[in-house]
Chain A
Amino acid sequence: MRRAFPSPLAILVSILVTVPLASARGISWVLVLPPLLLMLDRLMKIRGVSKSGGSDSTAPFLLAFSRLLGSTSPGEALVSAFSTSVPDERLLKPLLELREGVAAASVVRRFSKQMHVESQTFEAIAALLGFDRASSSERLRSLVKLREDRRKVRQDLEVRLRAISMRFKMLSMISSASLAVTAFASPILGSFFSEQRLGAAMGRPMISFDFPAFSVFYSIALLSSYLPTKALPHVGWLGSALRASAAYFVTYLALVVAVGIAF
């Protein structure tokens, strides 16, 4: 039962759905809905796709180092690459050891101890430096190219996810606005297919607040704006719920005002 508590939204939706029933029947739904919504919530729980971006701060350094390695000694290439781009301030101390005659491969190995995320990359580079200069340079360039390919693919994913997230934000607001329209027109729509409801609608004024429809459709708007946020990394559930709520309330109010002015 670890972390098995209902989300605030599950409770809100349960209340929104059960209050219009306005009877003892509602109690059972208050008991049943939050756990069920919680289960759905847990099923859709995911890890963020974009959280392990890795360190891109070393990319310019490695690119410069691989280029310089072809024309200069590994030690000189390291110092020159550092002057182009500093991947991490902590690496300066091991770099100064070059002046004491420590081999470039050992310095790079010491870099790996300072870098937690990229330690294996620097270990691999230290191993590459054991080759002759031309071969090391070529292989290091190949490694840098691979890292660059990985970064491009990740960026591509990021861009696509951001675009989808933006699309979702807009569609969720449109959907909430449509739900508000349906909630407002619910008595009229219902009267088309039932003589009993038609009679009830005829006896009411043009603008009447249908609380059950308002409440139930609002809960649908909340759910439909909340559930997909579990799959999208750049959309927060609270922001999405607030956006949907704002679109819903504003549309409903706009309809009340517009119809009020017209009739």
Chain B
Amino acid sequence: MPLLEKDHTQARSASLNAFCRRSILPSRSLARLSTVLGYDAIEVHGVAGRDLLVAGLNLLALSTLAILIAILFFGLPLHSALAVPVAAALLAVLPWITDAGSGIRDLFDAAHSFEIFATVLLATGNLALAASKAAEVPGSASGNFSKAVMSMRDGVRPEKAILQSFSGKDICSDWVKSAVNGREGEISPVISNWYNELHGRILKAEDMLSLLIALSTILPIGLSMVMAVWGLASTPLSPLLILAFSAALTAIFCWFKGLEAILS
């Protein structure tokens, strides 16, 4: 097994063990669950995603236990227990819908880093110095610049190190390529294009937020009409419908978040 792959497997295993320790479920069932859910999907969402999943799994385990006790000892009807599959479905589906991606705020932060990078690069012509200065600006792009600086210290050519550290980063990658290739010329047009792109994303985000707000207005009225007409308000189905409504709104939001990466 190649060294890098081995390290990655070990890191994954250590991370999974840490994840298992924080859950009240047995580690074997968690390991099986993580295989079913796709461990990488859990890993992608970072610390916040893992916290959410641990909290969710713990709550799901407690809810299942509570429902079982309620059905066995208090003779509750089975449809009350429908909440458990609903919760399971939420847990299984939503982490996939939610996608990390770069947010608008991240793009703003990155824009600041790139301004500094471009200015130092123009002033000194020194890629390593420009990258190290940009790495000091707080924001999402500083990690990539730091990575590039580390690669340069390991002997990688500055151009290659910078391009490698931003490879696959969509808009950032294009920008860095233009900046590195055109450092002798004018960088302003490149940054202006960046702002045009950012503006485009803001317009899309605005459309999506407007749609979310419209849906959050229309959906409850539709739901209430259905419940009133069918007389569901005083039946045990009403909590389930309300839960489904909340889940639908959250799913739409998460879908937007994943689709356009409105926010990280």
**Which chain B residues lie closer than 8 Å to A213 at the CB level?**
227-228, 233-234
Q: Please give the distance in Å from B111's CB to the nearest CB on chain A.
A: 5
Q: Please give the distance in Å from A216's CB to the nearest CB on chain B.
A: 5
Q: Do residues A17 and B58 form an inter-chain contact, with CB atoms below 8 A?
A: no
**Which chain B residues lie closer than 8 Å to A35 at the CB level?**
59-60, 62-63, 87
Q: Do residues A123 and B120 form an inter-chain contact, with CB atoms below 8 A?
A: yes
Q: Do residues A220 and B220 form an inter-chain contact, with CB atoms below 8 A?
A: yes
Q: Do residues B234 and A175 form an inter-chain contact, with CB atoms below 8 A?
A: no
A185–B199 alpha-carbon span in the complex (Å): 46
Of A79-87, A89-97, A145-153, the one with at least 4 CB within 8 A of chain B: A145-153
Q: Do residues B246 and A40 form an inter-chain contact, with CB atoms below 8 A?
A: yes
Of B32-40, B147-155, B175-183, B188-196, the one with at least 4 CB within 8 A of chain A: B188-196
- Does B41 sit within 8 A of A, measured CB to CB? no
Q: Do residues B212 and A228 form an inter-chain contact, with CB atoms below 8 A?
A: yes
**Which chain A residues lie closer than 8 Å to B124 at the CB level?**
127, 130
**Which chain A residues lie closer than 8 Å to B253 at the CB level?**
43-44, 227-228, 230-231
Q: Do residues B220 and A190 form an inter-chain contact, with CB atoms below 8 A?
A: no
A246–B48 alpha-carbon span in the complex (Å): 35
Residues of B in contact with A, size category: 35 or more
- Does A262 sit within 8 A of B, measured CB to CB? no
A214–B228 alpha-carbon span in the complex (Å): 11
Of B6-14, B131-139, B156-164, the one with at least 4 CB within 8 A of chain A: B131-139
- Does B172 sit within 8 A of A, measured CB to CB? no
B interface footprint on A25-48 (CB within 8 Å = 1, 0 otherwise): 101110111011111101111111
**In-complex Cβ contact of A36 among B52, B76, B86, B219 (8 A):** B86
Q: Do residues B216 and A227 form an inter-chain contact, with CB atoms below 8 A?
A: yes
Q: Please give the distance in Å from B109's CB to the nearest CB on chain A.
A: 6
Residue of B whose beta carbon sits closest to that of A214: B233
- Does A59 sit within 8 A of B, measured CB to CB? no
Q: Do residues B123 and A33 form an inter-chain contact, with CB atoms below 8 A?
A: no
Of A68-76, A191-199, A250-258, the one with at least 4 CB within 8 A of chain B: A191-199
Q: Which A200-220 residues have a C-beta within 8 angstroms of B? A: 210, 212-213, 216-217, 219-220
- Does B25 sit within 8 A of A, measured CB to CB? no
Residue of A whose beta carbon sits closest to that of B105: A49
**Which chain B residues lie closer than 8 Å to A153 at the CB level?**
108, 195, 198-199, 202
- Does B238 sit within 8 A of A, measured CB to CB? yes
Specify which of B109, B134, B209, B214 lies most central, judged by the most chain A CB atoms within 10 Å of its CB: B209
- Does B167 sit within 8 A of A, measured CB to CB? no
B interface footprint on A139-161 (CB within 8 Å = 1, 0 otherwise): 10011011101100110110011
Interface of A is mostly: helix
- Does B54 sit within 8 A of A, measured CB to CB? yes
Q: Do residues B66 and A25 form an inter-chain contact, with CB atoms below 8 A?
A: no
A149–B199 alpha-carbon span in the complex (Å): 11
A150–B242 alpha-carbon span in the complex (Å): 42
Q: Do residues B239 and A228 form an inter-chain contact, with CB atoms below 8 A?
A: no
Q: Please give the distance in Å from B37's CB to the nearest CB on chain A.
A: 15
- Does B264 sit within 8 A of A, measured CB to CB? yes
A146–B111 alpha-carbon span in the complex (Å): 9
**In-complex Cβ contact of A1 among B58, B77, B104, B230 (8 A):** B58
- Does B245 sit within 8 A of A, measured CB to CB? yes
Q: Do residues B123 and A128 form an inter-chain contact, with CB atoms below 8 A?
A: yes
Specify which of B51, B187, B216, B239 lies most central, judged by the most chain A CB atoms within 10 Å of its CB: B239
- Does B102 sit within 8 A of A, measured CB to CB? no
**Which chain A residues lie closer than 8 Å to B115 at the CB level?**
121, 124, 143, 146-147, 150
Q: A28-B81, A120-B136, A120-B137 are in contact. Are A179 and B234 (CB under 8 A)?
A: no
Q: Do residues A17 and B52 form an inter-chain contact, with CB atoms below 8 A?
A: no
**Which chain B residues lie closer than 8 Å to A149 at the CB level?**
191-192, 195
Q: Please give the distance in Å from A182's CB to the nearest CB on chain B.
A: 4
Q: Do residues B212 and A36 form an inter-chain contact, with CB atoms below 8 A?
A: no
The 7 closest A-B pairs by CB, nearest first: A212-B234, A35-B59, A124-B119, A127-B123, A4-B55, A32-B83, A224-B220
User: Can you identify 23 A-B contacts, CB atoms within 8 angstroms?
Assistant: A17-B242, A24-B74, A27-B70, A29-B80, A29-B236, A32-B87, A36-B246, A39-B55, A42-B55, A44-B250, A45-B48, A46-B264, A52-B108, A124-B133, A139-B122, A142-B188, A146-B115, A175-B216, A183-B228, A190-B228, A190-B231, A223-B249, A227-B250
Q: A27-B74, A168-B213, A192-B229 are in contact. List 19 more A-B contacts (CB 8 A).
A: A4-B55, A4-B58, A13-B242, A32-B83, A35-B60, A38-B55, A39-B52, A43-B250, A49-B104, A54-B112, A121-B115, A139-B123, A147-B115, A149-B192, A175-B217, A179-B224, A194-B231, A223-B246, A232-B213
